[in-house]
Amino acid sequence: MSILRGIIRIARFRADGLAQFGDTIQAMSSSLAPLVAFPLVGALLEIGQGNWVIAVSDLLASLVALLAPLVISETLARFWGVRAAWMRYAVASNWAQWAMPMALLAALFVMGRVGVAVTPAVIGAGAIGVVLYGVALHWFLARAALGLSRLRAVLMVLACDVTTVLLVLGPRLLALHLGAPGG
């Protein structure tokens, strides 16, 4: 198995990339480790600057963003009778998250090479494109790894993504609305 090969194959919407990912607890732990490490380092850097509240809230938001889709997708997989295939789906989904920043960097590189000025508007458009690509990739993985129908794959993507956005941004928006400190 080659994680990098699997990421590249999945990033190109190739279902055979799923074979590069394990379906064990160890494979899940390995896929989560780098996704947890980056927010943890960011939190430690914030703590080093004395920003404890920001560090803790950002770390918790990152963990919610990481774990909520796993919990929701596992619940739906169990409900739809495809729980046996869920672990490989979850591992592949975790690793596939690396395809999005790679896609953004590749797009920015190509734009720079062909002479497109990399302005904040171009970066914003690229970010929106990457989000849409991520949604399409999530839908593809639900179809390919879990064998879900198109409709169920859409429902899974909506359930995971909308709920995660609400869980992560909801408290922050509420804090802003209420004028709470740190919001």
pLDDT tens for 7-52 read: 999 999 999 999 999 999 999 999 999 999 999 999 999 999 998 8
Q: Angle, nearest 10°, between helix axes 52-79 and 150-178?
A: 150
With vertex at residue 164, the alpha carbon angle to CA 106 and CA 60, rounded to the nearest 5 degrees, is 90
Question: Which residue stretches of the chain are H helix?
Answer: 3-11, 25-48, 52-79, 86-96, 99-113, 120-146, 150-178
Among the listed residues 111, 114, 25, the one whose alpha carbon sits nearest the alpha carbon of residue 70? 25
Q: What is the pLDDT of residue 181?
A: 59
Handedness of CA 169, 171, 174, 178 (dihedral sign): negative
Q: How many CB atoms lie within 10 A of CB 135?
A: 15
Angstrom CA distances, 178 to 59, 106, 128, 171, 182, stand at: 22, 40, 29, 10, 11
Asked whether 75 and 86 are in contact (CB, 8 A), the reply is no
Among the listed residues 72, 40, 45, 77, the one whose alpha carbon sits nearest the alpha carbon of residue 59? 40
Q: How many CB atoms lie within 10 A of CB 92?
A: 28
Q: What is the pLDDT of residue 182?
A: 52
* pTM for the structure as a whole: 0.86
> What's the pLDDT tens digit per position in 55-91?
998 999 999 999 999 999 999 999 999 999 999 999 9
> What's the pLDDT tens digit per position in 122-177?
778 878 888 899 999 999 999 999 999 999 999 999 999 999 999 999 887 877 77
Among the listed residues 146, 27, 12, 170, the one whose alpha carbon sits nearest the alpha carbon of residue 94? 27
